[in-house]
Amino acid sequence: MNPKYFPSELAFYTKKRNIGRETSEAREIKRYNEEELKICAKILKIPMYFLFFSPIKKYSFLNAPEKYILVYREDLLPFYDFFEKCTEKERKMRILASYRHLIRGCQLLNHYGIVYENYEKIGFNRQNQPILFDFERNKACLQYLPLEAHVLSFIKNNDVVSLSKSNIEQICENFLKMYMFNHAKPTLRECMSLFVHLINQPKLVIINEMEKYKNTWNYYGISYLYLELLNQVEMPVFFVDILFECIHVDFNSRCKNVLHRLELGDGDV
């Protein structure tokens, strides 16, 4: 069953099987979020979207004091449960194939200007393909967001008109506290050096500068998730290198042409 992401006092989950078909439907209760529904409407217009995404297709309001809705979407097996069910022999190939599939999905999201944030909510369908669902914004675990996204969040959520050196240092320190990998871990100095040119710049200038790199954020989050998975699985060096390049703290140094790099390294599997 899917991870529950609605309040316990309204806990409700049921599955509706379609007899003789390869899909099943999940129904869940969650808070009404207009922005998420707009994102889902946008995704539903993407050709063959169902190969990569499971957006909310339909919903109905509940008779509750706050705005809650019953949503309908594809039933999915949670991310880690899927890999636990794999045999040791097939796990490596499943990891590579699923990562490649998600990167293709990220390319589609980038094309339509959508940033995915809820990496803990990825699931697998009955065709063993990873599917992105739950497109509600501002729910992400922050470790899946790159440093510039932390800067953007700080300046949008705090009553500041600019950034001071102290602000930048605070943001970078908090980022490094949640960065869980020892390999190629950036230093505080390296992090701060990326933003010194923005000190005392107008808020709008900083926001525009940070948003220039949004096309790398989906790759960052997916790659961070797979690096967490690799704590338990030994994978080829080329693949690990690609993952670390995708989460490089310097947005200008992040891996480009990810799919091409994967194809070049396939012979090393």
**Residue 128 dihedral angles phi and psi, to the nearest 5°:** 65, 30
| Sheet-wide strand order for 130-133 | 53-54, 130-133, 123-124, 77-78
Q: Which pLDDT belongs to residue 18?
A: 35
Structural element, H or E, at residue 24? strand 24-31
Tens digits of per-residue pLDDT, 132-182?
999 988 766 889 999 999 999 999 889 899 999 999 999 999 999 999 998
Q: What Å distances lie between residue 216 and 106, 119, 150, 161, CA to CA? A: 9, 15, 14, 26
Report residue 87 as tokens: 């045999």
pTM (predicted TM-score): 0.86
At 176, list the tokens.
Answer: 């490094």
Least confident of 28-32, 36-40, 80-84, 127-131: 28-32
Q: Which domains does the chain have, with CATH numbers?
A: 8-139+216-268 (1.10.510.10), 147-212 (no CATH)
Specify the pairing of strand 53-54 against strand 130-133.
parallel
For the CA atoms of 233, 239, 244, 247, the dihedral, rounded to the nearest 10 degrees, stands at -100
Q: How far is CA 247 from CA 1, 111, 197, 267, in A?
A: 30, 20, 22, 24
pLDDT reported for residue 266: 67
Residues 80-137: tens digit of each pLDDT: 999 999 998 899 999 999 999 999 999 999 999 999 999 988 999 999 999 999 998 8
Count Cβ atoms below 10 Å from residue 173 Cβ, excluding itself.
12
The structure tokens listed for 41 are 């409407």
Q: What is the pLDDT of residue 269?
A: 52
Query: H-helix or E-strand containing 77?
Result: strand 77-78
The per-residue pLDDT for range 54-85, each reduced to its tens digit, is 999 889 999 887 889 999 888 899 999 999 99
Please state at what angle helix 237-246 crosses helix 217-229, rounded to 10 degrees. 140
Task: Report helix, strand and coil shares of the chain as percent, to nearest 5.
Answer: 50, 15, 35
What mean pLDDT is reported for the chain? Answer: 87
Cβ contacts of 240 within 8 Å, gap of 6 or more? 227, 230
Work out the burial of residue 116: count CB atoms within 10 Å of its CB; fewer than 13 is exposed, 13-18 middle, 19 or more buried.
buried
